[in-house]
Amino acid sequence: MTAVFTAFKEAGLASLVAFLLALPLIGFRTNTTGTGLNFEFRWEALVVSVVIVFVGRCVLTSTRGLWQQSRLHLPSFGYLRSVIDRRRVSFAVIVVLVALLFPFMPEVDRRAIDLATLVLIYVMLGWGLNIVVGLAGLLDLGYVAFYAVGAYTFALLGTVYDWSFWGCLPIAGAVAAMFGVLLGYPVLRLRGDYLAIVTLGFGEIIRVVLTNWVALSGGPNGIAGIPRPTLFGLEFTRRTREGHSFHEYFDLPFSGDHRITFLYYVILILALVTNVFVLRIRKLPIGRAWEALREDEIACRSLGINPVNTKLSAFALGAMFGGLAGAFFASRNGFISPESFTFIESAIILSIVVLGGMGSQIGIVLAAAALILLPEALREFSEYRMLVFGLAMVLVMLWRPRGLLAHRKPTLTLYPSGSRTLK
Amino acid sequence: MAYFIQQLVNGITLGSIYGLIAIGYTMVYGIIGMINFAHGEIYMIGAFLSVLTFTMLGVTGVTWIPLALIMVLLVAMLFTSAYGWAVERVAYRPLRGSHRLAALISAIGMSLALQNYVLLTQGPGVKAIQPIIRGGISLYERGNFTVTLSYVQIFIILLTVVLMAIFATLIARTALGRAQRACEQDRGMATLLGINVDRTISLTFVMGAMLAAVAGLMVTLYYGVIDFFMGFVAGLKAFTAAVLGGIGSLPGAMLGGMLLGLVEAFWAGYFSVEYKDVASFGILVLVLIFMPTGLLGRPDIEKV
User: Which residues numbered 274-303 in A keep a CB inside 8 Å of some CB on B?
Assistant: 298-299
Question: Is residue A85 over pLDDT 70?
Answer: no
Mean pLDDT score across all residues of chain B: 87
User: Which residues numbered 358-397 in A keep a CB inside 8 Å of some CB on B?
Assistant: 358, 383-384, 386-387, 389-394, 397
Show Cβ contacts of residue A218 under 8 Å, excluding neighbours closer than 6 positions.
A337
Q: Which contiguous run of DSSP H or E holds residue B140?
A: strand B136-142
Q: How many domains does chain A have?
A: 2
State whether residue A336 is helix, strand or coil. Answer: strand
Average pLDDT value for residue range B131-152: 79
Min mean pLDDT across A89-93, A276-280, B80-84, B110-114 is at A89-93
Residue of chain A with shortest Cα separation from B276 = A208
Residue of chain A with shortest Cα separation from B243 = A194
Per-residue pLDDT tens digits for A218-227: 888 888 888 8
- Answer yes or no: is B282 within a domain: no
Q: Give B129's DSSP letter.
A: -
Per-residue confidence band for A165, with pLDDT thresholds at 50, 70 and 90: confident
Domain of residue A222, CATH code: 1.10.3470
Q: Cβ of B120 under 8 Å from any chain A Cβ?
A: yes
pLDDT of residue A151: 93
Question: Is residue A298 over pLDDT 60?
Answer: yes
**Residue ranges in A163-256 assigned as alpha helix (H):** 165-187, 192-212, 214-217, 246-249
Question: Is residue A410 over pLDDT 60?
Answer: no
- Answer yes or no: is B117 within a domain: yes
Domain that holds residue A9: 2-60
pLDDT cut 90: percent of chain B above it: 37
- Answer yes or no: is A76 within a domain: no
- Answer yes or no: is A270 within a domain: yes
One domain, residues A40 and A175: no
pLDDT of residue A313: 92
pLDDT of residue A271: 92
> In chain B, what residues touch A202 (CB-CB under 8 Å)?
281, 285
Min mean pLDDT across A196-200, A286-290, B139-143, B260-264 is at B139-143
pLDDT of residue B278: 85
Q: Give A335's DSSP letter.
A: E
pLDDT of residue A389: 81
Average pLDDT value for residue range A28-56: 81
Task: Say which of B116, B127, B281 has its CB closest to residue A386.
Answer: B116
Distance in angstroms (rounded) separating the CA atoms of residues A339 and A329? 13
Q: Are B212 and B42 in contact (CB under 8 A)?
A: yes
- Answer yes or no: is B154 within a domain: yes
Show Cβ contacts of residue A302 under 8 Å, excluding neighbours closer than 6 positions.
none
- pTM, rounded to two decimals: 0.85
pLDDT of residue A143: 92
Question: Is residue A408 over pLDDT 70?
Answer: no
State whether residue A224 is helix, strand or coil. Answer: strand
One domain, residues A119 and A49: no
Per-residue confidence band for A413, with pLDDT thresholds at 50, 70 and 90: low
Per-residue confidence band for A422, with pLDDT thresholds at 50, 70 and 90: very low
- The interface pTM score, or ipTM, of the predicted complex is 0.85
Min mean pLDDT across A310-319, B118-127, B190-199 is at B118-127
Domain that holds residue B46: 15-243
User: Which residues numbered 44-83 in A keep a CB inside 8 Å of some CB on B?
Assistant: 45
Show Cβ contacts of residue B268 under 8 Å, excluding neighbours closer than 6 positions.
B276
Q: How many domains does chain B have?
A: 1
pLDDT of residue B217: 93
- Answer yes or no: is A88 within a domain: no
Question: Is residue B3 over pLDDT 90?
Answer: no
- Answer yes or no: is A227 within a domain: yes
User: Which residues numbered 242-261 in B keep a CB inside 8 Å of some CB on A?
Assistant: 243, 247
Question: Is residue A293 over pLDDT 50?
Answer: yes
Q: Are B294 and B287 in contact (CB under 8 A)?
A: yes
